[in-house]
Amino acid sequence: MDISGIKKNKFWISIGGVIVIVIAFYFCVVGPFRSRNSEKIENIERLLTKLERYASKGHKIRNKKWIKAEKMKLEAARKIQHGYEQFYKERDTQLEKIFGSFDGEEIEDEALWANRYIQETDILLDRIKARAIPYGKNALHFKQWREKIPSWEEIIPEQKRFWITEALVNIILKEELEVDYFEGINFEIENAVSGDTTHTELYDTIPFTVEVGINVERLFPLINEFLKSELSFEIETIGLNGELNRLRMPETVEKSPRSGDSVQKRSFQSPSIVNVVISAYVLDFKI
């Protein structure tokens, strides 16, 4: 037996075994490791790409606690907004009403509404006459429908102006204010907008002026009545003129400088009576 040949064969067999083991190790251990490592590198590169994209757009990375806190703040803001909307709806209820029928339901027929409108305006005028307060020839500007039946596009704004007029008459007729005379209520041009348009997405404005003669000591109570009203009155300016600041003797009859149909004022008018012109508007909420 050739021992040297056997030794040589064992050597090559050993070399072959080692090679097989190395190959097996590479495929079983090194290969999967490299594959997993490559996947991790690709994931990291994708993540870095996303982070760079977020950074370029100004996005910020937040943790779960921050996100939870923001969701709670958002929910709280929604509740507050809902509360505001309910407040606006309650404040707008009086202005959005339509004349009711005898059974309490709102009138839906245009002709019936027009008849009711005439009745209600007559009632307001009768109330002023009953108090014997001198008033101007055109103190109340009510729509004259005549034989025409108004459409709802015409009715809605006129209905709102009626509620405003009624609220103002209720204020003027309060005995504790002791209004000396009532010159009139004038609504400005339709769709006129107040100077402040910051919140026009929330409400429109219905501007008007009201002019009365009143003892100067009753001026603040008069303004207070505006603030207590169910309607959302906003006063812009208050103009004063009359016997008090002209420092002259009262006259039996005095004409308003802006109108030939001015009210016939009381005889022996007190020097403390002032002519008050209030420019204001009512908020007509859209919510």
The winner for highest mean pLDDT among 22-36, 222-236, 254-268 is 222-236
Is the per-residue pLDDT at 286 higher than 50? yes
Given a cut of 80, is residue 84 above it in pLDDT? no
Kindly report which listed range (7-21, 30-44, 47-61, 219-233) carries the lowest average pLDDT score.
7-21
Among residues 219, 222, 236, the alpha carbon closest in space to that of 282 is found at 236
Q: In this predicted model, what pLDDT tens digit does every residue of 228-257 receive, in sequence order?
A: 998 989 999 999 875 544 443 344 334 444
State mean pLDDT over 118-128.
92
Question: Using alpha carbons only, what angle is made at residue 133 by residues 131 and 136, rounded to the nearest 5 degrees?
Answer: 135
| Alpha-carbon span 268 to 262, nearest angstrom | 17
Per-residue confidence band for 118, with pLDDT thresholds at 50, 70 and 90: very high
Spatial CA neighbour of 229 closest among 30, 128, 127, 95: 95
For the chain, report the end-to-end CA distance as a whole number of angstroms: 110
Bridge-partner residues for 205, per DSSP?
A: 283
State mean pLDDT over 174-195: 79
pLDDT band at 260 (very low <50, low <70, confident <90, very high): very low
Residue 197 has pLDDT above 60, yes or no: no
Provide the pLDDT confidence category of residue 258 given band limits of 50, 70 and 90.
Answer: very low
- Fold (CATH) for 97-285: Alpha-Beta Plaits (3.30.70)
Residue 213's pLDDT band, with cuts at 50, 70 and 90, is very high
**SS3 per residue for 47-83:** HHHHHHHHHHCCCCCCCHHHHHHHHHHHHHHHHHHHH
More confident residue, 137 or 155: 155
Q: Which residue has the higher pLDDT, 47 or 180?
A: 180
Domain limits, the chain: 3-61, 97-285
pTM above 0.75, yes or no: no
